[in-house]
Structure 1
């Protein structure tokens, strides 16, 4: 087993452990390519509309968006095109949903919510895939970076800032 394969296996196990029955997550990845994982313990997710993200990075080109999000957010990001024109999900610390103060600009999904998390090797369309796959166990985005990105995108779209 090479180093990347071992790392991917460790990351997959870290993700699977978010599920109360990790074997179920592994089974869903094997059969469907996506597993429904509960949020709020191991990680939470900030939902960002694709038009806001594309405005923030000044591009809708896949390669340019990937590069920009990698630099700006630095953590794991999922894209789901099946939701209202496309939605990005930035993974953040699990407890963030309890203290997230920016629901007016981007919702934080935590306890009581499930997220479709793709298998580690799903990094291209179609369906739900990793825009920025985890590089290591616990590879999460910084909340400040997410709010800055969303605020920039909303500003470029001409949406008023929330008070």
Structure 2
């Protein structure tokens, strides 16, 4: 087995340990490519609507968004197309010293919430996929970096709304 596949297997095993029955995650990945993983044991997720992310990175082109978000948020990011539109999830530490103040526009999801986590090799559409795959066991986004991205996106959207109201 090559080094990359060994690393991917180690990361996948780390993700499955979030679930009380890790074998269920493996089964869901094998049959559907995405598994429902409970949040709150090892990591949480910040749900960011595409409008916030696209405003923060100043693009809605998928390849540019992916490149820019990787630069701003080193750590795992999941892309999901929901009924309500495109959503990005930044995986962050379960406990952080940061008080999350963006729940109205980008809620931090934890215990009691399940996240659709793609199989480690799902890195492009269709469906739920990794914009940024975890780089190693325990890799998570820095909460402050996620908060900064959300704040930039929120401010840019507010300015756009203000400009439109002046027209």
Q: Identify whether the pair has TM-score above 0.5, normalized to the shorter chain.
A: yes
**Deviation at 1:97?**
10
Distance in 1 (CA, whole Å) between partners of 2:84 and 2:74 is 25
Distance in 1 (CA, whole Å) between partners of 2:117 and 2:81 is 13
Other structure's SS at 2:82 match: coil
Contact 1:97 1:109 in 2 (8 A): no
Task: Give the greater-gyration-radius structure (CA).
Answer: 2
For each residue in 1:84-113, what CA deviation from the matched residue of structure 2 results, as whole angstroms up to 9, or x when unmatched? 111000000012499534313410000010
Name the structure 2 match of 1:27.
27
Contact 1:97 1:108 in 2 (8 A): no
Name the structure 2 match of 1:74.
74
Contact 1:97 1:111 in 2 (8 A): no
Name the structure 2 match of 1:122.
122
Name the structure 2 match of 1:58.
58
Distance in 1 (CA, whole Å) between partners of 2:113 and 2:106 is 15
**Structure 2 residue 15 is the aligned partner of structure 1 residue 41:** no
For each residue in 1:120-158, what CA deviation from the matched residue of structure 2 results, as whole angstroms up to 9, or x when unmatched? 000101111101111111111111111111111111111
TM-score by length of 1: 0.93
TM-score by length of 2: 0.90
Number of residue-to-residue matches in the alignment:
160
**Deviation at 1:71?**
0.9
Contact 1:78 1:89 in 2 (8 A): yes
Distance in 1 (CA, whole Å) between partners of 2:86 and 2:96 is 23
Task: Give runs of ≥4 in structure 1 deviating > 4 Å.
Answer: 96-99
Name the structure 1 match of 2:15.
15
Name the structure 1 match of 2:164.
none
| Aligned CA-pair RMSD | 1.7
Name the structure 1 match of 2:136.
136
Distance in 2 (CA, whole Å) between partners of 1:106 and 1:83 is 17
